[in-house]
Structure 1
Amino acid sequence: MFKQERWSRLLELLAVEGKLDVDGAAAAVDASPATIRRDLDELAEQRLLVRTRGGAIAHGVSYELPLRYKSSRRASEKQRIAGAVADLLTVGDVIGLNGGTTTTEVARALALRTGGGLGESGEGQNGPMCTVVTNALNIVGELAVRPQFKIVVTGGVARPQTTELLGPLTAGVLNKVVLDVAVLGVNGVDPQLGVMTHQEDGAGISRLFAQCARKVILVTDSSKMGKRAFARICGLDRIDSIVTDSDIAPDMVDRLTEAGIEVITV
């Protein structure tokens, strides 16, 4: 296993367990204890964890995997999901995208789209192909240089781990816009509790995206189905469609369909 793969796995284990011991981590990633000690020391230098005697603990109680490590997980599924979502969107849409690895893939899929009346300049006859409203700085980076998009950035205070903008400034913009479609990435989908994420401030912003949209599309791989997270975004009654991969359990599809949600698998 290469170092980056090993680090990604260690951070994933840490996100789930909250702590690691050297021997257990070594067994989990099939590496020597000496290698794990060096890995933990280097990750601690990058402030991705806190080193302890014999292991490590998560960097703060609200620990999240940094975006650059999350992005490689279930990458092919996320790309297929993103392509399916891009096919659901039409020229002229005002689209909201919250932060996350799957919504980033949606932005990339949109950037690769051609046609739709686009001219040589990348703009349609009446201006940009669509408008994207986002609080994710990495999504801004993906789309801002492409003239077929009008990009609206919410403003707010940046969270380093996810590059999301959060806080009252973010909410202030979202309270003043109207979206055709909100495309939301989440950390958990539960038939009773609804849609959830790890951070309460992120949940509040995602809730605003949903409230100001005519249609809400959830984008998440099947590993999030049936999972719970700390902060609730909204109930399933606010979700119109879920686009996920084909590994979703059939009984989960049935329960979501019974709740009136269109489930699209790729």
Structure 2
Amino acid sequence: MSTHERWTRLLEVLGEQGRIEVAEAAELLGVSAATIRRDMEELARQQLLTRTRGGAVLSGVAYDLPLRYKTARQADEKHRIARAVAGLIPPGAVVGLNGGTTTSEVARELATRADLAEQTAGTALTIVTNAINIANELAVRPYVKTVVTGGVARPNSYELTGPLANLVLQNISLDYAVLGVNAVDPRFGAAAHDEGEASANRAMAERADRVIVAADSTKLGKRAFAQVCAINEIAVLVTDTDAPDELVERISSQGVEVLCV
């Protein structure tokens, strides 16, 4: 297990339990107590946890991990989901992409799609995004027109939020909105932890002809603080094959096409 994977797992356990002891973490991750202490010291330096005598407790930001620590979570599932989502987008479409690990993978899949890359004249795809990391990757692709909203950058997700982001999004028209979210609940719909992100994502969804939600199975049946859109406003939910059948049935019964990949 790499250092990055250990750190990610430690933060996940803290998010679930609120606290963990050095000995417990060492046994869980199969490394020495000395290694765990060094890991905890480094994560404390980054203000991602708080050290205690003999362990660590949850810090204020651990519920919403920075993007760099989310990348390794459900990585294979996210790749499959991203590939499937990218396959739903026809050439020439105008697509909104919010921030997140899964939507970042979608952007990479779109950027390397052969039918788009082979276009020699004009714009093969227009991407509107409030995620500065996605814009950075797409801006070098001459066949992709990249439109970036204004706003204030959130360091956890690289998303631009606030009135400037919403102002741009409220004055454009999208064929598709591809949204990564923190939770998808059959009753509460798609939601995010941060209300600023949810507001920008909601504006994107409202301007789209079709809303595609990309969410791995760990996010299904969960609720988060701020709603992005109601369940019946989602045209397609792309998730992985570990999605519980009962949840898939409840979501699809409300008119959502659910793709398990």
* TM-score, normalised by the number of residues in structure 2: 0.94
Tell me, which stretches of 5 or more residues in structure 2 are unaligned? none
Task: Describe the superposition over 1:235-263 as per-residue Cα deviations: whole angstroms up to 9, x where unpaired.
Answer: 10110001111111112221111100011
Q: Alignment partner of 1:152: what SS?
A: strand
Tell me, which stretches of 5 or more residues in structure 1 are unaligned? none
Tell me the residue number matched to 1:203. 198
Task: Describe the superposition over 1:11-36 as per-residue Cα deviations: whole angstroms up to 9, x where unpaired.
Answer: 11223333333233223223333322
Tell me the residue number matched to 1:55. 55
Q: What is the 5 A alignment of 1:95-244? A: 95-115=95-115, 118-120=118-120, 123=121, 127-244=122-239
Tell me the residue number matched to 1:249. 244
2:48/2:61 contact within 8 Å kept: no
Tell me the residue number matched to 1:34. 34
State the alpha-carbon separation in 1 of the partners of residues 137 and 171 from structure 2: 24
Relative to 1, partners in 2 of residues 1:42 and 1:117: Cα closer, same or farther, differing over 3 Å?
A: closer
State the alpha-carbon separation in 1 of the partners of residues 5 and 61 from structure 2: 24
How far did 1:43 drift? Answer: 1.3
2:22/2:55 contact within 8 Å kept: yes
CA RMSD of aligned residues (A): 1.7
Q: What is the 5 A alignment of 1:58-69? A: 58-60=58-60, 63-69=63-69
Tell me the residue number matched to 2:72. 72
Q: Alignment partner of 1:229: what SS?
A: coil
Q: Alignment partner of 1:92: what SS?
A: coil
State the alpha-carbon separation in 1 of the partners of residues 164 and 57 from structure 2: 32
1:197/1:231 contact within 8 Å kept: yes
1:198/1:230 contact within 8 Å kept: yes
Higher mean C-alpha deviation, range 9-18 or range 208-217: 9-18
How far did 1:96 drift? Answer: 0.4
State the alpha-carbon separation in 1 of the partners of residues 164 and 20 from structure 2: 37
Higher mean C-alpha deviation, range 51-60 or range 88-97: 51-60
State the alpha-carbon separation in 1 of the partners of residues 87 and 61 from structure 2: 39
Aligned length: 261
State the alpha-carbon separation in 2 of the partners of residues 191 and 164 from structure 1: 26
1:50/1:59 contact within 8 Å kept: yes
Q: Alignment partner of 1:151: what SS?
A: strand
How far did 1:228 drift? Answer: 1.6
State the alpha-carbon separation in 2 of the partners of residues 36 and 98 from structure 1: 35
